[in-house]
Each structure stands twice: as structure tokens, then as C-alpha cells.
Structure 1
């Protein structure tokens, strides 16, 4: 079968894909199916080698959600590990956020991936780590800003899981579209600190932290879906029930409009982020460790601990907003607690 036979709407999870006369979305090249496979796999291998993502003998955890990106990542890393003799030990690391009708179903796909790719699997849940599920959090916070909680908790959950498994690196399924969206979001928010590091192919928070890498950094989402579909990989394609209100969705819609006009817009935006330089006199947050949980933070208390504190105190919006406002609220609350304790002692 040739790529020119692919039709719009054929591909699960991405009906907007349009392949006309065999044109590859990323480059515009006309390729048969086998040549597309070779180009796709070779580009990811080159990204891994040129980025120096892995070393022989390392244990690598693949952040697995059951979606197209992590499923293709697991399949590709197993394939390239054997083809090019990387010498890696691969494991799957998954996080159960506690979202009924979404994560419970996608975890079944992750378990199937475990069997298909013969990799060990570790699943951590928000419930066991934080005492909350996303369903319970949404009941408290509503559907606005709920993705803030999920994103912060998920990032730390991956760190906790990686430490538990004692892996050397965590490979995530972030693709080129994801990175371009993140660059746009950080530009719109004026977040210089994140804008500087969001395009890094390896992120390392310093001593004691476990680095993360992005083997799919330059891989287009459309091509990931096509690869998964024609390789008949088992993946989960339903969108999170809480995602429609996410800020990222607006950046994604804007990026898709740009891509229609200029297909290279995705890579162009990533290269712009990579080329960014910050003036020497600009002060950036310094990463250290949270005084409470010990994980990486740019503040005395990490964002996860602040958000969790707010939930447990019945103040779910405590962690939403600027750091200065959050720190002031925490300080005021601690002062009230001290006054209350002293009053109890005097009584």
C-alpha cells in the first residue's frame, strides 16, 4: 500500500490528517509505506545519537500513558535498542491520575503494551501519593485551573516513580507539536525561565535528580499517528474529559492554523526557542529542593506541596497565581496557626 492511498479520517484520533498524492506532512516528500517507516525510525535514531540521550547499560523508564506518543515511543525504543545495540534496559512507568472514564481505560492499554513489548510496568496513583484523585480535585476546584493540579502532580509523580525504580533516565513522549505549543504558551505568559529550558532535549534539575529526555522532540504528531496506525500498534485515543478547558488547547488550535499555512511552522518555532538567549542581567529562578518533600523546586516549597496544602486546608485555589501571592498567603496562614496555638497554651 502506498502513502497516496491514505485518506482523511482513516486514522484514529487524528481525523484532520490529509495525505494527498503521497506527500509526507513533515517534509512534503513522496514516500511508499516502507520508506516512510525507514525515514521515521532513522530520524528518531539520529535524534537519540546526536542528542546523546542514552549510555549503554542504563535503565530507562518510558513514561507510559497508553496514548499514541508513549506507545510509539515504547515500540521505537525497543526496536532501535535491538537494531543499534544501545544496551538499554527498558521499563514502563505510568501514573494513574484517578480520572474515571479516561485514565482507568487507558491503563488497560498500558498493561497491553507491557505484554506486547515485554517490559516491566510500574503504576503509581495520585491517591497513594497525595491522597487525592483528579476526580476529587475537580469537585473542589471546578473545571478551571484543574490542569494545573494534574500537570504539577504528574511531573512530580514521574520523579517519585523514577526514584523508586532507581532508573538512570526517564524518556517522555513529548513530540514536536507539544514543544512548539509549549514555546507559544511561555511566550504568551511571558515566562522567561520556562521559555529558556522548554526546548531542551534533556532536562536535568541538578544533583540528585533523574534526567528526562525527549526522543520524539523533532517528530510530528501526524506522523506518529500514521506510524502507529499502519504498524497496528495498540493505543488509546480518547481525550481527557477535563482537557477541553485547558490553556494548551488554545495554543494547539493556533499552531494548527499556522501549520496549514506553513508546514514547517512547528520546527521553526522549536528552533526559535532553541536560539533564545537571555541577557546576563536578567535574574532567573534558581532550582533547589523543596523543604518539605525534597524534590526539585525554585521556591522553599515546591508547587506540588503548595497545591496539596491548599487542598488539605480546604483552600484549593491557594496554589493558583503568582509565587509572591502564594508565599504571602502561606506566611499569613502560618502566623494565624501560631497565634491559635499560643492562645490554646495560654488557656
Structure 2
């Protein structure tokens, strides 16, 4: 059955937008998607003219579409941005080594400089080596903490003004659910912000914040963009997977669930009587932390001292383990 494009452009529709339900032709879908990202950028005041922007590039659909659309909109609307790609190599054999080849293809296709930083050079460990120590149950804790800081380190090396990440509406809705389920008030307040880290580091911005994952996939497919689609070999054990399953189940019942949860997260407020952690700088590495010593440094110390579970759980537990380790080593030297 032939369905006309909802925009009355005279063409036949080839898709139905998950976000709005509109039936659109390919050209009108491209225009709608790009216009919405442009609106997100301008209304959120994500960039200033002349900014040097690092696009966090993993080779996946989100970062590939982000790099492509930012390049397109930068030219179309004269943002005046200088764009570079920043990739983090976690050291996951059969996953990241392959996806980095896609990033290099993006570099060539979009004519953007590329900087690759590895966990090995930054921390002395690859994720494969970490998993060999910690197992698969808590490996995402290490990877998430190290990756966030690695992006900060890379941004600092490149002296960029902004870091653009490919977080989409689905990602943020999942994070809202995760933080509610974990009772993480501090992160719940920050996770829906379209700009983060401005006061204590290089700002991170989310141009795809209001873009549905399904539409990002459709955009990449119809534009014939090259991206890496294999899931991380350690991801099936991630807590996020449970939040994702819950979100997809809710979306089947109520298609607007993704945006409803995202907007709910934006509207949540914290009582003034609740004391939230203050974000300062780690006394060791000088990068952002809500503790005297950041999570990355605690995790790294645990790995280097043969205590891989040191940073898992509460900071008080880590402190106690370090005290016990120091006591044992002191006794052994007597």
C-alpha cells in the first residue's frame, strides 16, 4: 500500500518515525532529523563560534551519526566549529580493535583529525587484562570510570573547548531508570543535563539528547554511513542491560515512554536539605572527582596492589581495604 509523505511534498513515504508517528519520504526524514538536532544545539547553546570540538568517536552508530551531522550542520549553518575525533581504545580484543578501523574510516570520510588514546598508555592496563583480574561481573565499573576520565584526559591534551558525545534519548532514559533503581541522587540530577562538567572541567555536550535510537539507526542506514554494530563482548553482564530491557518493554506499551522518562528526569528536583557531593579535583591526578581521591585512581591502585575489588562499592570499603593492606605489608617487613 502506497502512503504519501506526511509533509505533502508529493513523494511516497518509506518510513514511519518512531518518535512522532509521521510517515515520511527519505528526503523529508533527513530534513526533520537534522533540523531537530540543529534546534537542540541552538536552543541549548551547546557551542560558541570558533570552538574546537572533540567528537567522542567509538565507531558505533551514535558517534558516527553525530560526527556526520555535526560536520553537515557546521557547514550549513556556519557554526564556525573546528571538529576533531577523539577515540578511546579500552583494549578489548575482537571488539575495540575492529571498531577503531571504522573510526579511521570516519576520519577519512569526514576529513577530521583523529586522536586515539589507550587504557594501556594511560593506566598501564587493558580491559582484557582487567577482566582477567576482576572477572566479568564488575568489569563495566572499571571501563565506565576509566573511559570517562580518558575522555577528559584526551580533551585536555587536545586543548578543546567542548567534547560532544553521542548520548541519545534512549541512553538518557536508561540512565534515569538506573539512577532511580540505585537511589543515586547526585547522578540522577546530572544525567539529564545537556551540558555537563563546565564548572570543573571541559564541558561535555549532547547534541543527540532528544534523538531516538531507532531514528539514529534509520538515519545511518538511509545515508549509508559506515559504522560498527557489534556489541562489546563484556556488555551482556552490564547493569545497564536490565534498564534497557525494561525501557524497551515500556516502549512497546507506550511509544512515548522514552521521552516521558527523559522529561521526568529533567523535572525532578532535590530538597534543599539534601547534601550532594561537591565536585572538585582529585588530589592525585587533578581530574574531576567528588572525593579527595577519584574513583579512577582508587580502581587503579587496587589493580596495581593486587586488590582488584578495591574500588567496587562504597568509598568507606575501599579505605578499609587499603588500611588492612598497609597493616599486612607493615607486619611482613618487621
Does the alignment reach a TM-score above 0.5? yes
Find the residue that maps to 1:219 and give its secondary structure.
coil
Q: Give the match for residue 299 of structure 2.
A: 307
2:17 equivalent to 1:24:
yes
Find the residue that maps to 1:60 and give its secondary structure.
strand
Q: Deviations 1:58-97 (Å, cap 9, x if unpaired)?
A: 1000000000000000000000000000000000000000
Q: Give the match for residue 232 of structure 1.
A: 224
Runs of 4+ in 1 over 6 A off after TM superposition: 2-5
Q: Partners in 1 of 2:170 and 2:3 — Cα distance? A: 22
Q: Deviations 1:225-270 (Å, cap 9, x if unpaired)?
A: 0000110000000000000111000100110011111111001001
Q: Partners in 2 of 1:4 and 1:283 — Cα distance? A: 55
TM-score (norm 2): 0.94
Matching residue within 251, 266, 280 for 2:243: 251
Q: Partners in 2 of 1:334 and 1:46 — Cα distance? A: 55
Q: Partners in 2 of 1:212 and 1:3 — Cα distance? A: 41
Q: Give the match for residue 56 of structure 2.
A: 63
Structure 2: which 5+ residue stretches go unaligned? 6-12
2:82 equivalent to 1:83:
no
Q: Deviations 1:30-67 (Å, cap 9, x if unpaired)?
A: 11111110000000000000000000011000000000
2:103 equivalent to 1:110:
yes
Alignment RMSD: 1.7
Q: Deviations 1:121-154 (Å, cap 9, x if unpaired)?
A: 0000000000100011111111101011000000
TM-score (norm 1): 0.91
Give the C-alpha shift of residue 4 in structure 1.
8.9
Q: Partners in 1 of 2:52 and 2:144 — Cα distance? A: 25
* CA distance 1:81–1:179, change in 2 (3 Å): same
Q: Give the match for residue 8 of structure 2.
A: none
2:14·2:25 contact (CA, 8 Å) conserved in 1? no
Q: Partners in 2 of 1:91 and 1:246 — Cα distance? A: 30
Structure 1: which 5+ residue stretches go unaligned? 6-19
Find the residue that maps to 1:273 and give its secondary structure.
helix
Give the C-alpha shift of residue 329 in structure 1.
2.1
Give the C-alpha shift of residue 185 in structure 1.
0.2
Q: Give the match for residue 255 of structure 2.
A: 263
2:14·2:24 contact (CA, 8 Å) conserved in 1? no
1:3·1:22 contact (CA, 8 Å) conserved in 2? no
